[in-house]
Amino acid sequence: MIFRAAQINDIAQIQIVRNSVKENTLSDPNLVPDKDVEDYLFNRGKGWVCEINNKVVSFSIVDLLQNNIWALFIHPDFEKQGIGKKLHNMMLDWYFQQTSKPVWLGTSPQTRAEKFYTFNGWLVIGKYGTNETKFEMTKENWQLNKISY
């Protein structure tokens, strides 16, 4: 497993991973065009990938402009191997080196993602959109959670 910053030539494989997930699926894959992924990776924030045998199997992207976790997805064939946790931690370490502002995300209720974020110290702060749970992580909470790892 190789964990590294995302590069422009990773976008096609990032899209494959994004469209392979079984939860938090896109109703229409065209809703997230390559140019949007590129914008989030290189203009709005930063992204990371996990690569196995030269294939992207997971990715995460954080948005500094909206203080938002834009994406954290793992190809279903590579779940439950600690990849999401590693990308999550890399992303939050980097984010809180850039700013002290809280970061938020939205995810569908009663999913593995919701359990993952709860387990990793994110606090529910309400609803997002029509049917998502909104979570928040502060720099202080992140520092406290990191101590327990």
Domain of 39 in residue numbering reads as 2-147
Q: How many CA atoms lie within 13 A of 121 on its CB side?
A: 19
Average pLDDT rounded to a whole number, residues 6-24: 86
Phi, psi dihedral angles at 28 (to 5 degrees): -145, 115
CB 49 within 8 A of CB 23: no
Average pLDDT rounded to a whole number, residues 36-65: 95
> Distance (Å, rounded) from C-alpha 3 to C-alpha 56?
10
> Distance (Å, rounded) from C-alpha 138 to C-alpha 147?
14
User: Domain tally for the chain?
Assistant: 1
Average pLDDT rounded to a whole number, residues 57-78: 94
Can you give the pTM of this predicted structure?
Answer: 0.88
pLDDT band at residue 116, thresholds of 50, 70 and 90?
very high
Residue 44 DSSP one-character state: I
CB 48 within 8 A of CB 87: yes
Better-predicted residue by pLDDT, 67 or 145: 67
Residue 10 DSSP one-character state: G
Would you tell me the crossing angle of helices 139-147 and 83-98 to the nearest 10 degrees?
A: 140
pLDDT at 18: 85
CB 69 within 8 A of CB 103: yes
Average pLDDT rounded to a whole number, residues 83-89: 94
Phi, psi dihedral angles at 80 (to 5 degrees): 60, 35
> What's 119's domain CATH number?
3.40.630.30
**Model confidence pLDDT, tens digit, residues 128-145:** 888 889 999 999 999 887
In the sheet that holds 68-74, the strands lie side by side as: 2-5, 45-52, 55-63, 68-74, 103-107, 132-137, 123-128
Q: Does residue 17 register a pLDDT over 50?
A: yes
pLDDT at 90: 94
Phi, psi dihedral angles at 39 (to 5 degrees): -60, -45
